């Protein structure tokens, strides 16, 4: 099939010349592609460590000074991600659960040991809004339910917001 079979009538000399140039360009490109494919098949699939020159070698792993902060950030991110469902359930769909968590991480807390009852009370001083406190309440309840013992004391950690069980403020819903 020639390039002219799709045309009606006889093409002009100018059109025939343009078609010939395009066919020649396409043939040259096809030949170049075949040459590159042959060259690629000759390239080794695996490279040993000793083969690359000094300039081509990969950089060493991060030094210990950079590695430790990276590991701490990774662990903190995983912990934050694990805490999100407890906060998101109380917030609803449209809210962002990372905001109350960020406020929680920046907020102050009172640590009140009660050795007689075997409790170490952690009273988080709360967020700037009642909605934020309500979102965190689910997380604090979940943390309390783990019945974690503070190392070296044998005291069970109980997490709460102000006003819950202490008589110092409004109780939560």
Q: What is the pLDDT of residues 32-82, one digit of tens each?
A: 999 999 988 888 778 776 776 667 666 666 666 777 788 888 998 888 888
The pTM (predicted TM-score) of the whole model is 0.51
> Would you say residue 21 lies in a domain?
no
Q: Which one is predicted more confidently, 51 or 166?
A: 51
pLDDT over 90, % of the chain: 15
The count of domains in the chain is 1
* Domain of 128, in residue numbers: 70-160
Q: What percent of the chain has pLDDT over 70?
A: 76
Contact between 88 and 75 under an 8 Å Cβ cutoff? The reply is no
Report for 58-62, 88-92, 148-152: range of highest mean pLDDT: 148-152
pLDDT beyond 90 at 121: yes
Query: Is the predicted pLDDT of residue 122 greater than 60, yes or no?
Result: yes
Contact 126, 107 (CB under 8 A): yes
Local confidence band at 169 (pLDDT 50, 70, 90 cut-offs): very low
Give me the mean pLDDT over the 160-165 stretch: 78
Q: Is residue 131 part of a domain?
A: yes
160, 140 contact by CB (below 8 A): yes
Return the percent helix, strand and coil in the chain, to nearest 5. 50, 10, 40
What is the model's pLDDT at position 167?
A: 46
Residue 3 has pLDDT above 90, yes or no: no
* Residue 128 in domain: yes
In a domain, 90, yes or no: yes
Closest CA to 168 of 125, 114, 138: 125
Number of Cβ within a 10 Å radius of residue 143: 16
**Does 144 have pLDDT greater than 80?**
yes
């Amino acid at each position: 099939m020639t390039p002219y079979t799709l045309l009606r009538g006889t093409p002009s000399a100018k059109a025939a010349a343009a078609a010939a140039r395009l066919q020649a360009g396409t043939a040259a490109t096809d030949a170049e592609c075949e040459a590159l494919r042959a060259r690629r098949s000759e390239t080794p699939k695996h490279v040993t460590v000793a083969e690359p020159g000094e300039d081509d070698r990969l950089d060493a792993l991060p030094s210990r000074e950079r590695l430790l902060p990276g590991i701490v950030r990774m662990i903190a991110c995983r912990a934050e991600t694990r805490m999100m469902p407890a906060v998101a359930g109380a917030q609803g769909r449209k809210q962002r659960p990372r905001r109350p968590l960020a406020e929680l991480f920046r907020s102050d807390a009172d640590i009140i040991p009660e050795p007689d009852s075997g409790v170490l009370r952690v009273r988080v001083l709360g967020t700037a809004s009642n909605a934020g406190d309500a979102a965190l309440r689910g997380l604090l309840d979940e943390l309390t339910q783990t019945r974690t013992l503070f190392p070296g004391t044998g005291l069970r950690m109980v997490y709460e917001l102000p006003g819950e069980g202490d008589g110092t403020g409004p109780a939560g819903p």
